[in-house]
Amino acid sequence: MCGIVGYVGPKSTVEILLGGLKRLEYRGYDSAGVSVISDSGQLETRKRAGKLSILVEDIEKSPLHEAHIGIGHTRWATHGAPTDGNAHPHLGGESQKLSLIHNGIIENFAELKAELLEAGVSFASETDTEVAAHLIAIEFDATGDLVEAFRKVVRRLHGAFTILVVHQDQPDVVLAARRNAPLVIGLGDGENFLGSDVAAFVEHTKRAIAVGQDEIVVLRKDAVAIE
């Protein structure tokens, strides 16, 4: 179980995410990755097995576009080897417009994966995590309500998890939930943060709220709802 960071606000998101992941390094990890929704509305993801510095160098060589919303992850592999493909974020749905990060273990993933395979969904990784990305994307495509899709799928998951999601079609919001795994919100002025612990955002804000078990967090730059 490693590190999670999320950000919405006016600052350069890639810098905030990589800075947060750097401060969570003490938790240990084998891979790292980020997704942002660029100012032109495009979901962009970069992920690499190995040390955070490998991801940082990759992004320095080929920068992501300017963005003001995103999520970042460090992985400690439990299902699937530490490879680039198994690193988080994982993309969901046919259109691959949803990006999800997860710390923990989804204990009923095999059952959920069987259901998705049956429905013709193809998988890009061997992780337990990817099922959640596809389920939420499919539910959102069916209903158009991302918060409800997220809530509905989180209810179906068993195990221990912190999960963060962004979707290209809802480019102003990060959704989050936790069960038996840590998640805190950092409140800023015109910007808000999520982290596995306050170390993820402590240099930006000291105002933090712990998220309760099974609460749904809807994080925007100027508002945080906990439902």
Q: Taking contact as CB under 6 A, which single stretch among the options 101-109, 116-124, 139-147, 199-207 is the one that binds ligand GLU?
A: 101-109
* Among 13, 45, 99, 103, contact with ligand GLU (rule: CB under 6 A): 103
2/98 with CB nearer ligand GLU: 2
For residues 115 and 109, what is the distance between their CA atoms, to the nearest angstrom? 10
Half-sphere exposure of 36 (CA within 13 A, CB side): 23
Residue 113 binds to ligand GLU (criterion: CB under 6 A): no
108/143 with CB nearer ligand GLU: 108
Cβ-count burial of 144 within 10 angstroms (0-12 exposed, 13-18 middle, 19+ buried)?
exposed
Residue 130 binds to ligand GLU (criterion: CB under 6 A): no
For residues 137 and 132, what is the distance between their CA atoms, to the nearest angstrom? 8
Nearest distance in Å: CB 190, ligand GLU: 30
**Range 76-96 burial, b when 16+ CB lie within 10 A, else e:** ebeebeebbebbbbbbbbeee
Write phi, then psi, for 178 (nearest 5 degrees): -140, 150
Identify residues 72-91 at the interface with ligand GLU (CB under 6 A). Answer: 75-80
Nearest residue (beta carbon) to ligand GLU:
103
Contact residues: ligand GLU, CB under 6 A = 1-2, 75-80, 102-105, 127-129
